[in-house]
Each structure stands twice: as structure tokens, then as C-alpha cells.
């Protein structure tokens, strides 16, 4: 029985001589039209390779999530860091590179270049993160380590999203062209470029600031929803308390009115009682004294007058202010 032969792996895009960017001297002599034609030719070759390569959904979600997490964090922090995904980067005399995720510090985060042409931008990129799912390990941990150091990209991280393995490399000197491994500290890899720590959490690459994990968009949305729910709950509780307070206020007003009504009726009854006792005992009241008793609003005074009226010999003694009977 014969088996079909295994197809040869697709050539690396970096090995294709058609994607090599001109050296700086050649680029400087080109006219704008020649430069655009050169870039268009390189990008056409890139499109050929992209059509032949696929790292799968896990790879796509990984790099998209990394880019979104970094971009969102730096925007919230107010830091000028440009974060790009799959942006062609052209160094003089080098094959084009298309990192999964790249970062450039001190750069407008809203900058939207169609490609990063180093001679035109007057600077290279500061960091690369490559996400590997189905691709070959040798490219990420050997070829890229050599090539990215040669063009002096300060930091490079490789994340194997299938196996959950994170590696990092850094140029330890400004003029160095060979990486040194980033040594894990407490389970984290430190990025000096980003000012953040990197670690694998579950199957994802996550970023940490001062020990706290930077939330992704879904987590931020969940937090905002929780805060909104909490606020809504607080508003509803306040409305309930205000409703209770209104009911208590209404009840207090009703009780007050009831007490005042009862007190008013008691005053009327006591005043009439004083008048009746005075009349029964033959104590003659002047019109002013009659009006004074009828209009008296203090219950205690009326009660005192009632007591005096039972024994007083004159109306004047009933209404005496010194308390004499």
C-alpha cells in the first residue's frame, strides 16, 4: 500500500527575495512613484503568502485580543503608544516583516499608517508579539529572535497559544544586535517597553500593571454593567426610602392634624365648661371676660379656670393672673 507524500511546507515569506526592502541609499534615490511601485510589489507578494497561510481561529483571536487589550489600556492610561496588528514593517535592506502585534511608544495611538516604512517614519518599531498556533516553532524562537535583533527591535515576545508557553527577548544595550532572554520573575515576563508584566492565564496572554491584571473589553463591559446594576439598585433603594419617608411624613401630618383637632375640641369643651360653671354658680361675667374665656387656646389655663370656677366667689377670682381663688 502506498501513501500520498506529505506536501512540502510553504516557503517563509521572509525567504522570498521579492519582499526585500531596498537599502536606505537606494530608497533615498527613488522618486515617490518608484517608492509606491516598490511597496505595491512587496505587498502583492505578501498577499500571495497570506492566501497560502492560515493559523486558525485560535491564532486570530489571540492576536486580536492582545492588540485590543494593549490599545485599550494605553488609551485609558493616557499614554501615547501606537498598537498595530499585521502591519507590514519595512527596514532598509531587509525582508518585510508583518508582526502579529507591534507597539511604538511616543506615537499617536490614532495614527493609521498603511505600512511602517522605517526610513519615512524616521524610526523603527519598539516591540513585537508573535502568536503561534499551527506555525513552526523554529520561526518564532530561532529565526525571529535572530532577525528582529538584527534590525534592533528592542523587545520581542513569542506566545504559543496552543501550548500556553510565553518567551521573551530583549536588547540589553542600545547598539546591541543580539537578544538576551527575558528571565521570568514570579511567573511574569517584564516588558520594559510597555512598562507591563506579561503572563499566561488559562489559554490567554494577559498583561499586568502593578500586580493587577489589565481587564479586556468583555471584562470592562461586565464591570460597567455591574456598576450600572449597583447604581440602579442604589437608586431603587433611595426611591423606596424616599417613598417610606413621604408616607411617614403624611402619617405624621395626619396625626398632627388629628391631635390639633382633638385639642381644639378639648379647648372648646373646657371653655364652654368654664362658662357653664360660672353661669351655674351665678358668677357674673362681663362681655370681655366671656370673650376671654371663649377664645383661650391654652388647655392648662382653661383647666385652672375650671378648678377656680368651682369655688370662686367672683368671676374676677376665676380669671385672676396671680392664682388667687
Report if pTM > 0.75.
Answer: no
The whole-number average pLDDT for the span 204-220 is: 87
The C-alpha cell at 78 is 493616557
**Using one digit for the tens of pLDDT, what is the confidence trace for 231-290?**
877 788 888 888 888 888 888 888 888 877 777 787 888 888 888 888 888 888 888 888
End position of a domain, from candidates 165, 198, 214? 214
- The answer to whether 119 and 24 are in contact (CB under 8 A) is yes
Q: Are strands 155-160 and 165-170 parallel, antiparallel or unpaired?
A: antiparallel
- Alpha carbon distance 50, 42 (integer Å): 12
- Asked if residues 195 and 181 have their Cβ atoms less than 8 Å apart, the reply is no
The total of structural domains in the chain comes to: 2
Whether 230 and 140 map to the same domain: the answer is: no
pLDDT of residue 50: 60
Residues 203 and 308 in one domain: no
Rounded Cα distance between 172 and 123, Å, is: 19
| Average pLDDT score over residue span 10-24 | 70
Question: Residue 250 belongs to what domain range?
Answer: 222-318
**H/E segment holding residue 304:** helix 299-309
In CATH, what number is assigned to the domain containing residue 93? Answer: 3.90.1570.20
192 and 294 both lie in a single domain: no
3-state DSSP assignment of residue 6: coil
| Alpha helix positions (H), 104-196 | 118-121, 137-138, 144-150
- Looking at 214, 243, 265, which one is the last position of a domain? 214
Q: Is residue 313 part of a domain?
A: yes
The fraction of the chain above a pLDDT of 70, given in percent, is 89
Identify whether residues 144 and 270 lie together within a single domain. no
Residue 146 is predicted with a pLDDT of 94
One domain for residues 248 and 230:
yes
Residues 6 or more apart in contact with residue 150 via CB below 8 angstroms: 94, 177
pLDDT digits (tens, 9 = 90+) for 35-60: 888 888 888 877 766 655 556 667 77
For the chain, give the mean pLDDT: 84
Q: Is 6 inside any structural domain?
A: no
Q: Are residues 130 and 265 in the same domain?
A: no
Short-list 119, 94, 123, 107, CA closest to 32:
119
Distance from C-alpha of 130 to C-alpha of 108, rounded to nearest angstrom = 22
* Domain end among 182, 198, 214: 214
Q: Is residue 2 part of a domain?
A: no
What is the pLDDT, as a whole number, of residue 223? Answer: 67
Taking only the tens place, the pLDDT of each residue in 99-140 is 999 999 999 999 999 999 999 999 999 999 999 876 677 788
Amino acid at each position: 500500500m502506498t501513501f500520498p507524500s506529505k506536501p512540502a511546507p510553504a516557503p517563509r515569506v521572509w525567504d522570498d527575495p521579492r519582499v526585500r526592502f531596498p537599502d536606505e541609499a537606494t530608497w533615498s534615490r527613488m522618486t515617490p512613484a518608484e517608492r509606491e511601485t516598490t511597496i505595491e510589489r512587496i505587498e502583492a507578494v505578501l498577499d500571495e503568502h497570506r492566501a497560502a497561510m492560515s493559523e486558525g481561529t485560535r491564532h486570530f483571536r489571540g492576536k486580536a485580543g492582545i492588540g485590543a487589550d494593549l490599545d485599550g489600556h494605553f488609551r485609558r492610561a493616557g499614554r501615547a503608544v501606537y498598537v498595530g496588528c499585521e502591519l507590514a514593517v519595512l527596514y532598509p535592506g531587509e525582508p518585510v516583516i508583518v508582526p502579529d502585534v507591534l507597539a511604538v511608544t511616543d506615537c499617536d495611538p490614532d495614527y493609521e499608517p498603511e505600512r511602517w516604512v522605517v526610513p519615512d517614519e524616521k524610526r523603527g518599531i519598539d516591540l513585537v508579539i508573535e502568536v503561534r498556533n499551527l506555525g513552526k516553532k523554529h520561526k518564532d524562537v530561532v529565526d525571529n529572535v535572530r532577525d528582529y535583533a538584527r534590525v534592533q527591535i528592542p523587545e520581542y515576545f513569542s506566545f504559543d497559544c496552543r501550548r500556553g508557553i510565553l518567551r521573551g527577548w530583549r536588547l540589553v544595550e542600545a547598539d546591541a544586535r543580539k537578544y538576551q532572554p527575558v528571565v521570568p520573575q514570579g511567573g511574569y515576563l517584564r516588558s520594559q517597553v510597555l512598562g507591563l508584566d506579561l503572563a499566561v492565564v488559562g489559554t490567554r496572554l494577559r498583561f499586568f500593571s502593578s500586580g493587577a491584571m489589565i481587564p479586556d473589553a468583555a471584562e470592562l463591559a461586565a464591570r460597567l454593567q455591574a456598576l450600572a446594576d449597583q447604581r440602579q439598585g442604589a437608586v431603587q433603594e433611595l426611591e423606596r426610602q424616599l417613598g417610606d419617608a413621604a408616607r411617614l411624613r403624611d402619617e405624621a401630618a395626619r396625626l398632627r392634624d388629628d391631635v390639633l383637632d382633638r385639642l381644639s375640641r378639648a379647648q372648646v369643651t373646657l371653655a364652654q365648661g368654664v362658662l357653664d360653671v360660672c353661669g351655674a354658680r351665678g358668677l357674673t361675667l362681663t362681655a370681655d371676660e366671656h370673650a376671654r374665656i371663649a377664645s383661650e387656646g391654652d388647655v392648662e389655663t382653661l383647666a385652672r379656670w375650671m378648678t377656680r370656677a368651682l369655688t370662686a366667689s367672683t368671676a374676677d377670682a376665676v380669671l385672676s393672673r396671680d392664682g388667687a381663688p
